[in-house]
Amino acid sequence: MSLKIDDKYLEDFGLKLEDYTISATPEIKTRRIDIVGRDGSVDNGTNYGNNAIKIKVCADESDMGTLFSRLRAFTSWLDPRQGDRQFLFDDDSSVIRFAKLDASSDYSKMKGMDKSVADVELTFVMSDPFTYGATLNSTSHIFAPAESITIANNGGLDAPMVIRFHCTDTASMNPANGIGGVNAGDGISGISISGVKIQVNDTYIKYIGIIYTGDEVVIDTKGMTMVYDEDNALRYWEGDFPKLAVGDNTITVTDDTGLGANVTIEFRERWL
């Protein structure tokens, strides 16, 4: 049994995973309203709170100082100020989780004849309480105007997406000078599309600005962001931030110029 956090295994720190627990579901938050004179309560909806990962790691070493040095190096590397880390347990390697260090126990140590053993229990909070597929699903398609494709979400819950799109023209040129810049790039002057709309089943999101050849718009429907060449472009946002429903999803792309767009959709299936 082992654990990989981001790109490092516990063994990289000279540690072993002794045990771990993950709650079967995130915290369940149901809002109930009591009304005087009425039996029971009014159910005002339910949403999920955080989940938690608890691990117990241990190490053995002939020198006690080396033993604690390993544990200190690991806990320092986990610095929660750096944000969430990606967790992959080798006995459940088809899924990943995102969490950051929240609490720890005191070191527990035992000195033996030849080796000393120490362990520590660490708690990580999953502010994003869901479990995600380890495989990143990616579909790229050059959409003709108003063309549709089908994307299957085989997870247990709706799945947020990262959507990337740009002009269908692939000529090599320098990018434009910012959003709505006067320089459309070298090579083909003025090649652009505008008003790109991505319809996901009954929900849509639209970028109402202009996209020049060589530039790219990236939409994150989980983080609810829209970026044009790394610049915040939410002022060009219209619609909603759709997610892929469980099962088959119909994706339709249109644009105001009628030229079509080159679109890539990335997502991870997710579960509780």
Reported for 22-31, long-range contacts at CB under 8 A and 24+ positions apart, including other chains, are 22/51, 22/52, 22/53, 22/54, 22/97, 23/51, 23/52, 24/272, 25/51, 25/272, 26/50, 26/51, 26/126, 26/129, 26/130, 26/272, 27/51, 27/129
- Long-range CB pairs of 81-85, under 8 A, 24+ apart, other chains included: 84/127, 84/128, 85/5, 85/6, 85/124
Cβ–Cβ < 8 Å for 271, 154? no
Contact 239, 224 (CB under 8 A): no
Which of 28-37, 186-195, 205-214, 216-225 is the least confident region?
186-195
Judged by DSSP in three states, 116 sits in: strand
Whole-prediction pTM: 0.82
State pLDDT tens for residues 79-89: 999 999 999 99
Answer yes or no: is pLDDT of 184 > 60: no
What rounded mean pLDDT belongs to the chain?
A: 88
Q: What mean pLDDT do residues 185-193 have?
A: 55
DSSP run (H or E) holding 219? strand 217-220
Query: Would you state the pLDDT for residue 170?
Result: 43
Q: What pLDDT, on a 0 to 100 scale, did the predictor assign at position 181?
A: 37
Instruction: Give me the residues paired with residue 244 across strands.
Output: 159
pLDDT in the model for residue 104:
87
Instruction: Give the residue-averaged pLDDT of 88-111.
Output: 88
- What pLDDT score was predicted for residue 63? 75
User: Over 90: is that where the pLDDT of 159 sits?
Assistant: yes
Q: Say if CB 125 and CB 52 are below 8 A apart.
A: yes
pLDDT of residue 111: 61
Tell me, what's the pLDDT at 169?
60
Strand, coil or helix: 50 = coil
What are residue 147's DSSP bridge partners?
Answer: 253
CB neighbours of 259 closer than 8 A, spacing ≥ 6?
145, 167, 168, 193
| Burial (0-12, 13-18, 19+ Cβ within 10 Å), 71 | buried
Kindly report which listed range (44-48, 112-116, 185-189, 204-208) carries the lowest average pLDDT score.
185-189
196 or 65: which carries more pLDDT confidence?
196
> What percent of the chain has pLDDT above 70?
90
Q: What pLDDT score was predicted for residue 175?
A: 38
